[in-house]
């Protein structure tokens, strides 16, 4: 006889959504979080988006049908209320997208204790608290978690040691959840985007480009010049990967740390920089 738990699942989103699946998306007011809310609601999920800016959340809610909750994920009490409110409203919780994050630039010798602490709290401790609170519900429903990390959690970016370290920590936190809770039916995976067109990235590009006499568009082109797909990602492209990882189509994907970076993380910069195809792209930027 075949154990029903071992039966091959339908590789579609529809079988998951037919059960009324519910997901929380942190940092849902803009960027990848907003795009993820759009992707999930379009697939039939009930989605709760949270963040600190009520106006941004309301705009996304109006556009997607997601349910907005103003919550600071660095506040333990707010996290508890967020999960409780979600389960009270929808009766269950099946997915969690850990998207909220911040960056405070500065090399180690110049980074302040307060900026370091803020990145650890937002990028690493807040995801831990959310997981700690949500896991009983995810275990009950055989749920899935996706953490939004960065290629900076795989390879060190210059001048952002706190961001690099906390994103690398997020990768290992989610892999630990995958190992510890996989036997109970919970999957946990990570996406690592490269440069992605979001409000936060646009601001960074304007600042970085300004230091070099470039506008934001020129800075994006320069930053993407050595990427095999030489452009920044669209938030919807990252969101589509997140939605897939939450779905039954990815039912045997667990503990993956998946770059969504156009090939960025595979590049040997020392070699590619000498490739005339890429050198031309850099010179034209």
Q: Does residue 142 contact residue 186 with C-beta atoms inside 8 Å?
A: yes
Beta strands in 162-285 (DSSP E): 187-193, 196-197, 233-234, 257-260
Q: Which residues contact 8 (CB under 8 A, 6 or more apart)?
A: none
Q: Is 163 a catalytic residue?
A: yes
Three-state secondary structure along 126-161?
HHHHHHHHHHHHHHHHCCEEEEECCHHHCCCCCCCH
Widest CA span of the chain, in angstroms?
69
Measure the CA–CA gap between 182 and 248, rounded to whole angstroms: 15
Alpha carbon distance 175, 152 (integer Å): 17
Q: Which residue among the candidates 128, 163, 181, 220 is catalytic per the annotation?
A: 163
Residues identified as active-site: 163
């Amino acid at each position: 006889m075949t154990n029903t738990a071992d039966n091959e699942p339908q590789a579609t989103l529809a079988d998951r959504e037919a059960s009324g699946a519910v997901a929380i998306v942190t940092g849902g007011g803009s960027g990848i979080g907003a795009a993820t809310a759009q992707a999930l609601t379009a697939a039939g999920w009930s989605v709760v988006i949270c963040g600190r800016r009520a106006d941004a959340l309301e705009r996304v809610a109006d556009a997607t049908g997601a349910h907005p909750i103003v919550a600071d994920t660095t506040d333990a009490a707010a996290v508890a209320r967020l999960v409780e409110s979600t389960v009270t409203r929808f009766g269950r919780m099946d997915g969690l997208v850990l998207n909220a994050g911040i960056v405070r630039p500065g090399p180690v010798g110049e980074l302040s204790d307060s900026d370091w602490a803020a990145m650890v709290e937002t990028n690493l401790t807040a995801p831990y608290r959310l997981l700690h609170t949500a896991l009983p519900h995810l275990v009950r429903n055989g749920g899935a978690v996706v953490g939004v990390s960065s290629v900076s959690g795989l390879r060190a970016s210059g001048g952002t040691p706190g961001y690099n370290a906390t994103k690398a920590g997020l990768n290992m936190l989610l892999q630990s959840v995958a190992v510890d809770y996989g036997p109970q039916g919970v999957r946990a995976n990570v996406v690592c985007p490269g440069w992605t067109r979001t409000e936060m990235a646009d601001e960074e590009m304007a600042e970085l480009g300004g230091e070099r006499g470039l506008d934001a568009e020129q800075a994006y082109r320069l930053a993407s010049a050595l990427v095999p797909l030489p452009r920044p990602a669209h938030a919807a492209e990252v969101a589509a990967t997140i939605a897939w990882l939450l779905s039954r189509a990815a039912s045997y994907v667990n503990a993956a740390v998946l770059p969504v970076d156009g090939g960025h993380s595979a590049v040997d910069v020392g070699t590619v920089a000498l490739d005339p195809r890429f050198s031309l792209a850099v010179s034209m930027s």
